[in-house]
Amino acid sequence: MSDSLSFSASPSETQRAKQEMRHRVLALRDGLSVDEHAAHSRCIAQRIAALPSFANARTVLLFHSFGSEWNSVLLVQEALQSGKTVVLPRVLSSKGTSRQMALQTVENIARDTAPGTRGILEPLPERPVVSPETIDWILVPGVAFTPRGERLGYGGGFYDRLLPQIPKHVPRIVGAFDVQIVDALPVDSHDCSVDAVYTERRVFHCMRE
């Protein structure tokens, strides 16, 4: 998928370009068949679970997939079964510039989560909260990614606020369907990049600053 975009655009033009890209990539992702979605998700989860960085991590920040995202619950289950401390985000505020998330542990997905923002399963409010500094591996969600590790999120800016709070040496890993890989993305100065992207077909090792 090729996209030649100008990065000298005005803020409004950049936001418009981002929204257009979201619509295009989400349509491709939504178009995957049930069988393709399941098979590709298993492949992505297996590739990520085999990473030495994941195997050696003790406290991992993951997320519960929603909509047509790849099934990240497969990795959550793997992490729980291997005895890791599993942390999921819970949205505290989704308005204005105060959009923030709490990081909380879960030990059982069915017991320790409930639908939150956008219907995404999030930790219950009473689950233990952990500091971003304690995270030593992170799975990053998103809509589209480039081979250089640039990321387009869903537009809320939650991870662009969260990632700078996590130590820079912590691996930032993405799982995504191959249809989510694009040649270029409209980016802002605050947009956070990732270290590697794993799809069902390819692996991209990125040079994050």
Number of structural domains (the chain) is: 1
Q: What is the pLDDT of residue 192?
A: 85
Kindly report the CATH number assigned to the domain that includes residue 103: 3.40.50.10420
| 2 occurs within a structural domain | no
Q: What is the pLDDT of residue 4?
A: 36
Identity (one letter) of the amino acid at 187? V
Q: Helix or strand or coil: residue 141?
A: coil
Give the pLDDT confidence of 64-84 residue by residue, as tens digits: 999 999 999 999 999 999 999
| 62 occurs within a structural domain | yes
Helix axes 34-49, 73-81, angle to 10 degrees: 40
Q: What is the pLDDT of residue 24?
A: 96
Q: What is the pLDDT of residue 150?
A: 94
User: Which residues, 6 or more positions from 98, have their beta carbon under 8 angstroms from its beta carbon?
Assistant: none
| 3 occurs within a structural domain | no
Q: What is the pLDDT of residue 5?
A: 40
| 6 occurs within a structural domain | no
The whole domain housing 86 covers 11-205
| 36 occurs within a structural domain | yes
DSSP secondary structure string for all residues of 14-68: HHHHHHHHHHHHHHHHHTS-HHHHHHHHHHHHHHHHT-HHHHH-SEEE-----TT
Spans of the chain below 50 pLDDT = 1-8
Which DSSP symbol is given to 201? Answer: S
User: Which residues, 6 or more positions from 16, have their beta carbon under 8 angstroms from its beta carbon?
Assistant: none
Q: Helix or strand or coil: residue 158?
A: helix
Q: Distance (Å, rounded) from C-alpha 34 to C-alpha 53?
A: 30
